[in-house]
């Protein structure tokens, strides 16, 4: 099974604010993110990484091996399709490149159709 690493490190739509606004952290992750120099936001009792994420370098996560559990667990529709074998890696990478080439409503339509989950 394709683990999606190549796709995700070429994408970053769930790290740059395109699909997600914040990532919730548990207490251990707050300590890890702080040690790594990343800003941790507060919203009441919640501790959050705000997006665009400060760990994002281009389309890659700089702290991939230490990324929060919710980042590691996140599956957009396209990644789920790749893992299920419903699309090839090349097809999935082409979807990301196509989405990046678009703006405005056209881009929003592709994001809705190929990345967001019901
Ligand atoms: S999970 Fe989806 S949106 Fe996030 S980086 Fe991977 S392909 Fe892109
Ligand atoms: S920590 Fe890494 S995987 Fe998580 S949102 Fe930030 S850049 Fe993305």
Ligand 1 atom with minimal separation from the 76 CA: 2
Alpha helices in 1-118 (DSSP H): 5-9, 27-35, 69-73, 77-84, 89-101, 104-114
Question: What distance in Å separates the CA atoms of residue 27 and residue 35, rounded to the nearest whole number?
Answer: 13
10 in the same domain as 49: no
62 in the same domain as 47: yes
Pocket probe for ligand 1: among 3, 4, 9, the residue whose CB has the most ligand atoms within 8 Å is 4
Ligand nearest to the backbone CA of 13: 1
112 in the same domain as 84: yes
39 in the same domain as 4: no
Locus of tokens 């707050």 = 30
Quick one: average pLDDT of 62-74?
A: 95
79 in the same domain as 38: no
Number of domains in the chain: 2
Per the structure block, which two tokens stand in for 60? 């890659």
Residues with CB under 6 A from ligand 2: 15, 23, 49, 53, 55-56, 61, 63, 67-68, 71
Give the 3-state secondary structure of residue 49. Answer: strand
46: containing domain: 21-73
> Judging by beta carbons within 10 Å of its beta carbon (0-12, 13-18, 19+), is residue 71 exposed, middle or buried?
buried
pTM for this one? 0.94
The model's pLDDT over 6-59, given as tens digits with 9 standing for 90+, comes to 999 999 999 999 999 999 999 999 999 999 999 999 999 999 999 999 999 999
The model's pLDDT over 78-105, given as tens digits with 9 standing for 90+, comes to 999 999 999 999 999 999 999 999 999 9
25 in the same domain as 4: no
What's the mean per-residue pLDDT of the chain? Answer: 96
Ligand 2 atom with minimal separation from the 74 CA: 3
90 in the same domain as 67: no
């Amino acid at each position: 099974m394709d683990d999606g690493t190549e796709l995700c490190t070429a994408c970053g739509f769930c790290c740059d604010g395109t699909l997600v606004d914040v990532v919730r952290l548990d207490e251990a992750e707050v300590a890890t993110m702080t040690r790594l120099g990343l800003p941790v936001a507060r919203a009441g009792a919640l501790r959050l990484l705000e997006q665009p994420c400060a760990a994002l370098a281009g389309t890659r996560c700089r702290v991939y091996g230490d990324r929060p559990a919710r980042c590691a667990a996140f599956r957009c529709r396209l990644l789920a399709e790749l893992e299920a074998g419903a699309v090839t890696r090349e097809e999935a990478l082409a979807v990301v490149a196509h989405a990046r080439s678009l703006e405005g409503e056209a881009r929003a339509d592709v994001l809705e159709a190929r990345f967001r989950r019901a």
